[in-house]
Amino acid sequence: MKNKSLVSINDFTREEHIHILDLAGAFERRPKQRILEDFVVATLFFEPSTRTRLSFESAATRLGARVIGFSEPGSSSVQKGESLRDTIRTVSNYADLIVMRHPREGSARFASEVSKVPVINAGDGANQHPTQTLLDLYSIRKTQGTLDNLNIAFIGDLKYGRTVHSLTMALCNYNTTFHLVSPAELKLPSSVKMHIKEKQLGYHQYTELSEVIPKVDILYMTRIQKERFQDPMEYEKVKNSYILRNNMLDNAKTNLRILHPLPRVNEITYDVDDNPKAYYFTQALNGVFVRQALLAAILGVVE
């Protein structure tokens, strides 16, 4: 994996995904190792994403790397009209690895082609966010002991949710049965469903959240955004139908865990947070270990 860019979840094979998860496990056991002291990591955030940036910077800093970069385009040469091509060419002189977030789809692939150093995509518009997918896989494996043969429910905005699309595609390698719960307007797009069908995996579609809960090992919650609806009345009708409350979990399997890419707004009520099935904050912590694994593997300090 040394010097390999990570732009799309499909850039790495199933074996490479598993390898990263194993490495992340080692960092979870020993998160502070100064193995990247000789390295500079650049975090270029052409649109703000505090959570993702801090997670990467925490991962790099805990391994002893120096971090340079910017957190929004207003504070960079972008505002002066510099092209992405020139920014990346310049920064790849200063850093050993570039982490970038950009509002345009395909920007990370393009950056990886003009950069002298490897690029990790921290989100390119609505396209890909592969480190989120890897930390989701890590969280699923950690809580279930396996990635194989699980029943996984996705709830909420399955149409526009980039996280849901990438994770669905990755899970198609593990004989997953999918339970898809969304309003009719926000169903999983056929371009993603195509991957499930190709592998001949089971999938079930629902509009009711409660009926799916007893059936699954993972509940992956997402936020439904008002602006996704053409008709605001439609949003008003469905907005409360996809809220998870603690008393809905009474019939859940004991191994069920609740994931959410965060930030949440109101789709999981606060009374769920103390339920041992709530896993979303630990999931965010896992992101640091997965990013440590990626930085170390791509910079070539671990095999």
Partner 1 sequence: MEKNDQRKELKVSAIENGTVIDHIPTHSVYQVLRILNLTEYNDQLLIGNNLESQKMGKKGIIKVSNKFFKSDEINKIALVAPSATLILIKNFSVSEKKKVEIPAKVETIVKCFNPNCITNVEDVVTRFDVINKDDLKLRCHYCEKITAKDNMAFK
Active-site residue, 129 included? yes
CA 201 from chain center: how many Å? 22
For the CB of residue 106, give the shortest distance to partner 1 in the complex, in Å.
3
Q: Which is nearer to partner 1, 65 or 84 (CB)?
A: 84
Q: Which two tokens stand for residue 205?
A: 């579609």
- Among positive and negative, which fits the CA dihedral 162, 264, 50, 59? negative
Residue 106 interacts with partner 1 (CB under 8 A): yes or no: yes
Annotated catalytic residue, options 51, 85, 116, 197: 51
The reply to whether 253 sits near partner 1 by the rule CB under 8 A is: no
Q: Is there a catalytic annotation at residue 204?
A: no
CA 181, chain centre distance (Å): 19
Among 81, 145, 184, 191, binds partner 1 (CB under 8 A): 191
Q: Which of 47, 103, 214, 266 binds partner 1 (CB under 8 A)?
A: 103
**Least distance between partner 1 and beta carbon 227 (Å):** 15
Interatomic CA distance for residues 232 and 214, integer angstroms: 32
Burial class, 137, CB count within 10 angstroms (exposed 0-12 / middle 13-18 / buried 19+): buried
Active site residue 80: yes
Q: How many CB atoms lie within 10 A of CB 216?
A: 23
Do residues 272 and 249 lie in contact, with contact meaning Cβ atoms separated by under 8 Å? yes
Q: How far is CA 174 from its chain centroid?
A: 18
Segment interacting with partner 1, rule: CB under 8 A, options 68-76, 120-128, 139-147, 267-275: 120-128
Binding partner 1 by CB under 8 A: which of 37, 126, 210, 236?
Answer: 126
Nearer to partner 1, 92 or 127 (CB): 127
Candidate list 66, 89, 104, 195; residue touching partner 1; CB under 8 A: 104
| Cα–Cα dist 96/117, whole Å | 6
Q: Does 79 bind partner 1 (CB under 8 A)?
A: no
Q: How many Å apart are CA 196 and CA 191, to the nearest integer? A: 10
- Enumerate residues 203-242 that contact partner 1 by CB under 8 A: none
68 with 45: CB under 8 angstroms? no
Judged by CB under 8 A, the stretch of 30-38, 105-113, 238-246, 276-284 that binds partner 1 is 105-113
How many residues of this chain bind partner 1 (CB under 8 A)?
18
Residues that bind partner 1 (CB under 8 A): 8, 83-85, 102-107, 109-110, 124-128, 191
